[in-house]
Amino acid sequence: MESDDDLEIWSSLEIGFDYRDALIVRLDFVDYDDHTRDNVLYAVVDADEVPIMADRLHVPTADLPKAIAERCAGHPVPVPPSYVRSAFKEVLDCIIDCGARYRLREA
């Protein structure tokens, strides 16, 4: 999911796996008027926690990013950056609701 890139602020949300099979949720934030505010925030769910989430959501592990994204479906068009940030928080809540833990990392 990503916001309208014609706005002064752009944001995107991606969910996938890294090379260690950890679940990665990535939130990008770009302020075209003040790039000092640009940042990337990662939520990392360790590979040993991923099957717990998949079991709770009743999906194969490989389908976990899609299942999580579907829980956040129904976004407005165009998507405002604030909605992308709130969707990130929804994903974090989903992780906790599934009994898994995550670590936040900022880049």
Q: Give how many domains the chain has, as a whole number.
A: 1
Q: Is the pLDDT of residue 58 over 80?
A: yes
Residue 4 lies in a domain: no
pLDDT at 76: 63
pLDDT at 4: 65
Q: For the chain, how long is the longest CA-to-CA vector?
A: 43
For residue range 90-101, list pLDDT tens digits in order.
999 999 999 999
Once rounded to an integer, what is the mean pLDDT over residues 40-44?
Answer: 97
6: confidence class by pLDDT, cuts 50, 70, 90: low
Which domain does 31 fall in, by range? Answer: 9-106
Residue 52 lies in a domain: yes
